[in-house]
Amino acid sequence: MRNGTVIEVTGLRTQFGPQVIHEDLDFSVARGEVMGVVGGSGTGKSVLLRSVIGLIRPAAGRIVVLGHDMTALPADAVRALQRRWGVLFQDGALFSSLTVAQNIEAPMKEHTRMSRRLRRDMIDVKISLAGLPPEAANKYPSELSGGMRKRAGLARALALDPEILFLDEPTAGLDPIGAAKFDQLVRSLQRALGLSVLVVTHDLDSLHAVCDRVSVLIDKRVKVGTIESLMREPDPWIQEYFRGPRGRAAQAAAGHGAGTGNG
Amino acid sequence: MAAPAPRLDARLDGACLVVALGGRWTTQAIAGEDAALAALEPAGAMQARIELGEIDELDTTGAWLVYRTARELRRRGLEVDLSGGDQEQRDLIDTVAAHDVPCPGPPPPVNPLVTLLLRLGKATVEVLAEARDLVNFLGHTTVVLLRSLARPRSIRLTSLVSHMEQAGLNALPIVGLMSFLIGMVLAYQGADQLARFGAQIFTVNLVGYGVLREMGILLTAILVAGRSGSAFTAQIGTMKVNEEIDALRTIGLDPMEVLVIPRVLALMLTLPLLTFYADMLGLLGGAVIALVELDISFLQFARQLSSGVTLWSFWIGIIKAPVFAFIIAMVGCFEGLMVSRSAESVGRRTTAAVVEAIFLVIVLDALASILFSNLGI
């Protein structure tokens, strides 16, 4: 159970009309690792994430998640599978008519047989795990700051104790201090709960802080490796990305904070 | 996916309460075990041992139950230790223990009578504030509209024509079909009732008065409020969400002049035309039924119409059109500009625009009826 791959994508092709986003794309995520997905604007980072979680149907290829082929599975089996992962969308995607506590309770109520009291207990634990203050429980999403909304979204994503966590641009829109704290939170949760994480991001600091390996989307495919190994790739976009001024600054920052590299 | 239930076995071993756990202690599998663990009775035991050795799978919910059981037993004066279990499971239990931070419960429900009063008061204040803002906007629009008409070069022609096309030309099929059907319905009802008195011919008067004075303009206005008033709110509201309105202001353009005036003018010009078109098709619908049901030929229909229905009836319908158009466009633009910066408020405001526009149109129509009948036309 502990080893092996949780996500295996082979020969993926996604297209919208005549526009091909991914062509013959292969990539995989191992259990317990944090995989970052980067790429220029419009290379289909979010599309890749959405394909893996079953929101977009690929034109060709296989997507195997937790041992099940998503493309061949009937709809109810996909729904059962979806309980085994959590997704954090860009702005949290909290249900605006529910409080934070009710947002976290929603998947528990729907998919578990836990008693009301146990649900309340677990909501409190998840709120604390996501680094939210206890008072946040009764607030509505509109009353929270952007950073708090993301944390609340993370708490909801953790509601069913997922095996895989999907994060779509988790640090976008956060100030640098909030972003660094969120990175630390993701890393510590990943270690404590033994999660596998797929994170789509633009944030170089975030890549250095949380990712074990990185997939770079180039020419409708991915190049996968650790940041060090990717820096040796000759591709001009990768060179520009990791060795440009921002890339170097992020690398220098990561170098100072020892122990945030590969786990 | 078969989920084997978690196993729980509690027994008293001398002065030691042994709680042996096994199987899957996960969020998906746990059900009644929570109550069973909470109901554990120490029954004179001094110590307790929670055995984790048989647990196959443990996640935060399972770890929480182990932790909570230990916490509760400790509170009752027992010495508790955990035995068995691998390092990972123990780490997880420590993690949830570190996050035992109870949140305040949901606020107690307020007296429903108080809630009702509160909501009533709030809604009243909101409606009044909205009415005040709408009157304010009415004045603003009128001033800018008159200024624009005084300087016709400031009117944006492209925008005006485009809105006339969307609100007028594109509405022709639906307005035509609807009016035709309404004319038919009026003729049918009239034929049924009037035939009893042998006064079938007056069906023509009924259709003529009904369509020209009221039905043509009122139904067209309601349809345009639903079609174009809501579109104005959605367009301007989306621009507001995207900060396009702010961008307009920063480059020195007045949103009233760029966005509101073309829409208001376009609707004021097209609604009378649409009304005329609706009147014609309404009469045609009536004439068809008169022919089929009552054997009144088109010629007879026209003759009876010209002798029985005054021209004023036609003008009353047409005169109301620009006024209704002004109200519909103004309310649509007003609600669009009231959108706050969220997608949700675009939807809410669009609904409000349609409801308000239709309400105001009907109120005005009622007032117009009273006015015209007192004037004797």
Residue B129 lies in a domain: no
Separation of alpha carbons A170 and A150, rounded Å: 7
Query: Looking at the domain assignment, is residue B2 inside a domain?
Result: no
Q: Which of A83, A112, A124 sits opposite B102 (nearest CB)?
A: A124
Domain-located, residue B80: yes
Interface of A with B (CB under 8 A): 80, 83, 96, 99, 101, 108, 111-115, 117-118, 120-129, 134-138, 158, 160-161, 192-194
| Domain count along chain B | 2
Question: Which residues in chain B touch residue A138, judged by CB atoms under 8 angstroms apart?
Answer: 103-104, 106-107
Domain range enclosing B306? 140-375
For A136, name the nearest residue in chain B, comparing CA atoms only: B103
Number of continuous H segments (helices) and E segments (strands) in chain A = 10, 10
Residues of B in contact with A115 (CB under 8 A): 32, 34-35
User: Does the CB of B107 have a partner CB in chain A at under 8 Å?
Assistant: yes
- pLDDT surpassing 70 at residue A256: no
CA distance B102 to A152: 16
Count of CA atoms in the C-beta half-sphere (13 A) of B205: 9
Mutate to test the interface with B, among A161, A188, A190 (most CBs of B within 10 A): A161
Sequence-separated (6 or more) residues with CB below 8 Å from residue B169: none
B36-71: per-residue pLDDT in tens? Answer: 888 887 777 788 888 888 888 888 888 888 898 888
Put simply, the answer to whether A134 touches B104 (Cβ < 8 Å) is yes
Distances (CA, A) of A168 to A37, A181, A235, B241, B259: 10, 17, 25, 22, 36
Which of B65, B98, B131 lies at the terminal end of a domain, its last residue? Answer: B98
* Tokens standing for residue B95: 């993690």
Write the CATH number for B19.
3.30.750.24
Interface ipTM? 0.81
- Would you write out chain B's pLDDT as a tens digit for each of its 377 residues? 445 688 888 888 878 888 888 888 888 888 878 888 888 877 777 888 888 888 888 888 888 888 988 888 888 888 888 888 888 888 888 888 888 888 888 888 888 999 999 999 999 999 999 999 999 999 999 999 999 999 988 888 999 999 999 999 999 999 999 999 999 999 998 888 888 888 888 889 999 999 999 999 999 999 999 999 999 999 999 999 999 999 999 998 889 999 999 999 999 999 999 999 999 999 999 999 999 988 899 999 999 999 988 888 899 999 999 999 999 999 999 999 999 888 889 999 999 999 999 999 999 999 999 998 898 77
Last residue of a domain, one of B71, B98, B125: B98
Q: Find the residue in A nearest to B33 (Cα).
A: A114
Residue B31: its chain A contacts at CB < 8 A? 113-114
CATH number at residue A10: 3.40.50.300
Nearest residue in A to B93, CA atom: A192
Q: Measured between CB atoms, which of B102, B107, B344 is closest to A134?
A: B102
Residue B182 tokens read as 């309404």
Q: Is residue B199 part of a domain?
A: yes
